[in-house]
């Protein structure tokens, strides 16, 4: 996808990032228009999670820029953060809360201003969609890895933010959970949303996708010329 086609969506130009003494990526360009998603691949440690955190505004790149809907993305801008849903490796859920209580707290951030009764209806519908309605009050700490992932799926079913940034969202899910994630992603894309999904597993989503595999730039010894 070209930046011109993606002027209504997300455009990354010349992104570069160094962690410690290690250069993760250089001159990274991609563009993502509404209704499409980017499948982000690469070996462990290649920078997938770091790239998601850069787009989410949690860390700053050393080089390059980001724009959304034709406007420059500014790290820390509340308007930008209101556009995106970020799910990283750290869940952020409260161990002592059940799925319903966790989603209620999260929905106050994802969907501010909702009528309380409407909020509860949406939460119940999301729990049902994720297949965990019967265990809605089971504390997060007592759930299996797959059930914990289903709470994250319920959040996807509930939230209405246009850009999803997801780090290994299908890990630990059974076949039914994998299919549900693909359905949620397709519904999000059909509604005009877009997504970046870092994954090592195939995602059977039907929506238009681009692929980006991160590979580290050539590392040279100090004092040695680049090949």
Helix (H, G, I), strand (E, B) or coil at 113: coil
Q: If you ran DSSP here, which 8-state letter would residue 5 be given? A: T
Q: Within 10 A of 161 (CB to CB), how many other CB atoms are there? A: 18
Helix (H, G, I), strand (E, B) or coil at 50: helix
Tokens standing for residue 40: 């982000």
pTM of this structure: 0.90
The whole-angstrom separation of Cα 193 and Cα 105 is: 23
| pLDDT tens-digit profile, the chain (227 residues) | 444 444 689 999 999 999 888 899 999 999 999 999 999 999 999 999 999 999 999 999 999 999 999 999 988 898 899 999 999 988 889 999 999 999 999 999 999 999 999 999 999 999 999 999 999 999 999 999 999 999 999 999 998 899 999 999 999 999 999 999 999 999 999 999 999 999 998 898 888 899 999 987 865 433 334 44
Q: What are phi and psi of 25, to 5 degrees?
A: -155, 160
């Amino acid at each position: 996808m070209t930046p011109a086609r993606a002027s209504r969506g997300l455009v990354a130009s010349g992104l570069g990032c160094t962690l410690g003494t290690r250069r993760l990526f250089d001159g990274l360009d991609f563009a993502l228009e509404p209704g499409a998603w980017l499948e982000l691949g690469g070996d462990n440690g290649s920078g997938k999670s770091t790239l998601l955190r850069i787009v989410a505004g949690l860390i700053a790149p050393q080089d390059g820029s980001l724009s959304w809907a034709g406007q420059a993305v500014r790290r820390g801008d509340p308007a930008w953060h209101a556009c995106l849903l970020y799910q990283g490796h750290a869940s952020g859920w409260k161990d002592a809360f059940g799925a319903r209580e966790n989603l209620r707290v999260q929905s106050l951030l994802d969907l501010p201003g909702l009528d309380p009764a409407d909020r509860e209806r949406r939460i119940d519908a999301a729990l049902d969609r994720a297949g965990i309605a019967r265990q809605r009050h089971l504390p997060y700490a007592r759930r299996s890895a797959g059930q914990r992932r289903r709470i994250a799926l319920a959040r996807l079913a509930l939230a209405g933010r246009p850009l999803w940034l997801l780090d290994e969202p299908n890990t630990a899910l059974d076949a039914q959970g994998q299919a549900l994630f693909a359905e949620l992603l397709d519904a999000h894309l059909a509604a005009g949303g877009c997504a970046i999904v870092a994954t090592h597993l195939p995602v059977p989503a039907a929506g238009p996708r681009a692929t980006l595999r991160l590979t580290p730039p050539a590392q040279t010894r100090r004092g040695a010329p680049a090949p």
